[in-house]
Amino acid sequence: KKHFPADDSIVDKILGRSNSVHAVNGVSLSLQRNEIVGVVGESGCGKSTLGRTLSRLYEPTSGSIFFNGKDISSLSRKEEKKLRKEIQFIFQDPHSSLNPRRKIGELIGQPLEVHGIATGSEKREQVKQLLREVGLDPGQIDRYPHEFSGGQRQRIGIARALAVKPKLIIADEPVSALDVSVQAQIINLLKRIQDDHGFSMIFIAHDLRVVKHISDRVFVMYLGEIMEKAQTDDLYDNPQHPYTRALLEAIPNIDSESNREDTILTGDPPDPIDPPSGCPFHTRCPEYIGDICENEKPPLEGATDHAVSCHWKDRSTKERLEHAPPGG
């Protein structure tokens, strides 16, 4: 397990409400240098909004963002450009994020040029090196994105993000569009380059299985709020929130090709515009215990390295199951 000194934070964020649907609400996230944090939840839980707000693609309506010890909530144009270099994105669908009319050499080289890192033949050499680094043949530098498979295109997206040596990479569902067999290759690649370069990463996924082998810590989100956060091993060995447990039970078995976003949870998440009172999960919680869940929002509390937002947090699983409503 890596050790992260408490004062070595790269991102510190306290968010109030972000944008009009309050996709992210009261989320506090702190990320250490060299650390990978997984953010997991179903579609519409606000995890992508969180990533975009952190990198200031979205403006938070309240709260603040500290990056490398500096408040980045309001920046000059110049500072903003510098931040664009330090925070890079990897998107779910490399097909739509790579311009189909540009050769991959131009696509990967563009950030090098924009940020004044390299031009001309020097740029071309750096791009070839990046291609090698992500496991692609540098001889393919003059090909177009459509000539590559989905997994290879994601490698191109990774090379592009890596080109400017960012301090933070936000990977938003980077493997969700890929076959299960390719997912592991891309996760291993991300893990390896993170080891080599030592950037920090926020890895967003809807599937707990995907973040397990890459994350140092995991945040589980529901309707824009953090339900549980813990060191990765601890979260999988000792999940304390009913939502986390439901997500873990929903992980398809290893030889299943299923890549769908279904869970054992019944019904869809409620509309984030009109979230439920009390605990946001109470309308679907298999361990719902009555009025308190409906009326009182459980605070996110516990040890600093394992916090949970549930009124049952201090009870054992056995106790909870004994109190679970019949048939629930």
Nearest approach in angstroms of CB 287 to ligand SF4 is: 5
49 lines the binding site for Mg ion (CB under 5 A): no
Q: Which stretch binds Mg ion (CB under 5 A): 47-55, 61-69, 104-112, 221-229?
A: 47-55
Question: Phi, psi at residue 234, to the nearest 5°?
Answer: -65, -40
Nearest approach in angstroms of CB 48 to Mg ion is: 3
Q: Which is it for the CA torsion 187, 45, 263, 95, positive or negative?
A: negative
Give the binding site for ligand SF4 (CB under 6 A). Answer: 242, 279, 281-282, 285, 287-289, 293, 298, 310-312
- DSSP letter (8 states) at residue 73: S
Taking CB within 5 to 8 Å according to partner kind, which of ligand SF4, Mg ion, none is near residue 186? none
What 3-state DSSP class applies to 120? helix
Pick 271 or 319: Cβ nearer ligand SF4: 319
Nearest approach in angstroms of CB 298 to ligand SF4 is: 5
CA distances from 87 to 44, 102, 162 (A): 23, 23, 10
Pick 72 or 246: Cβ nearer ligand SF4: 246
β-bridge mates for residue 71, sequence order: 66
Contact 240, 310 (CB under 8 A): yes
Pick 127 or 293: Cβ nearer ligand SF4: 293
β-bridge mates for residue 303, sequence order: 306
CA distances from 132 to 51, 99, 149, 161 (A): 28, 21, 17, 14
Q: Which stretch binds Mg ion (CB under 5 A): 45-53, 278-286, 296-304, 306-314?
A: 45-53
Pick 108 or 208: Cβ nearer Mg ion: 208
Please state, in angstroms and rounded to a whole number, the distance separating the CA atoms of residues 207 and 42: 8
Nearest approach in angstroms of CB 88 to ligand SF4 is: 35
Residue from 34, 48, 49, 232 touching Mg ion (CB under 5 A): that is 48
Q: Which stretch binds Mg ion (CB under 5 A): 41-49, 56-64, 230-238, 245-253?
A: 41-49
Taking CB within 5 to 8 Å according to partner kind, which of Mg ion, ligand SF4, none is near residue 242? ligand SF4
Beta-strand runs (E) in the chain: 9-15, 17-18, 24-25, 28-32, 36-40, 63-67, 70-71, 87-90, 168-172, 200-205, 217-222, 225-231, 301-303, 306-308
A 10 A CB-CB count for 138 gives: 15
Residue of closest CB approach to Mg ion: 48
Taking CB within 5 to 8 Å according to partner kind, which of ligand SF4, Mg ion, none is near residue 36? none
Nearest approach in angstroms of CB 231 to ligand SF4 is: 21
Pick 300 or 310: Cβ nearer ligand SF4: 310
Residues that bind Mg ion (CB under 5 A): 48
